[in-house]
Chain A
């Protein structure tokens, strides 16, 4: 059994909306939004095929944002009734007044049409938070036990995160949106020890988190049985693999790794709030400043990157954002040039743009909506484009990079360093076994400038993460990134043991 599902549909939405918006009108608020949300989050962790911990959590709450006296105010509570809604408007207005007194430029929001009363539901069959804990433990336990039974596997950890979000939104301009979506993230990692050399290696599944239902674990969108069957062999090979010779290599990067490089070096760099300096104290700024829009050479001519909140199964996909803006798809980089930014209503207005492209998100009813990342994706070559094997066949001396692991990038999104799960040496167009201790390091525009070939649609995969962090107080957002396999020429590869001085 699960956490009691207080009937979301039975909450007093209309009464709360009237109470909040009437109070906002009488207080002279220029804008006001009310959000009531229920977010169910479950986590299950197994260690060596035994349940280590599980949590079944429900967040139910209500948040109000107002714009009054040229300042934003936000207030939130876990009480849900009309009186509490009206009180929130009062408190949000007070906080707006306090910050207005501290001075600064007046806040405006870009216009958005009134969408009336609308509903949106993500495509899924089985709500993963409705599946009993015992069933999840049984599935992860069986997978873990199979891995543990394989030669060379000493320990196995397994984790599954499942989320179901229900959202009610209403604003002063007349939009009322009710939405529902789910997501899940399964991860298994095997650890192998080599007692002779006193070293260890790990090998993790590279199955991406997805905006899908529990059917994902049953083979709808990923073949878990096939991937798990390969893990012990890959782990054993990695444990015996030679350490990498540092230097410049041609990299064929699999979408299971490239999604994160896109996220860090393009996704965050094309957030206009960052580029304008609103995140200077925390997440950072961007080298891709607005004065370079339309001119900045971001990468080679093969590079086309879009932002969207519409891709099926995308973790950032939704019908209407948390400011009531309809989901859209838009260009960020076209033919290698910077052509657009991700926007919310405040940032769009601050830049004099007519409309937001729908990137507002709050990670909880108790959090203020802010500009968060759309699904930012690299377009593949045409349908008949190369397969991953064909990309590898064109490389004389290189490395094929699969799966994400460690990541880091600077506060202006120039200098990055990534590792991965699996690194295969490429010699004369063929894979020649794994390498250990590999990291690749580059500057964003150099890296994308070295993009020499894109895989075709057959190589395209939607990767992503549940836990993109931004803002203060910190908020986490789920986001997907589509990518094909791609070839990058002459990238600096480091040996991580040498980096540690060993």
Chain B
């Protein structure tokens, strides 16, 4: 027996079509709202980036201009003057510390060498490392005098490694010899306070009326 269409077949109520439509409408509205919000944020970000970029560009231009101005204010001649003065002071100090004074050697030679011994030739050379060597030849009145000279050099100690060689007795019983030695670097060190054993020579520009560099 067929049921009448008006009689329900179940007690569970069917969902109505109008409920589905309501959910879809809410989801569509939320999606649309979010999309427009995101679009708005994008526009705001784009505008912000654009104007921030312009502000930074103006700031950079101002700083570039200030830098060019600061660079132009630096006087290259002044800088070179400072560098030259620094180099001159440093180099002068270094050169003065290694300044060679040979007169000290002659003073020591005069006081140490007996009057009975004399040199006929003497060669002093100083290498780049500051080591001074002496070579020469001379004549001694006798072997004893030469022995006294050798002992005097040894006692003084500033003329070192003294070697008398190639000794030969002459007809007048004098002794010819060759000589070699090294000099203690302290003997060659220049001391501004050392007593001058020579005519006083101007040592600075202000103390001389000469138009040329004073010596």
Are chains A and B native binding partners rather than an unrelated pairing? no
Residues of A within 8 A of B (CB): none
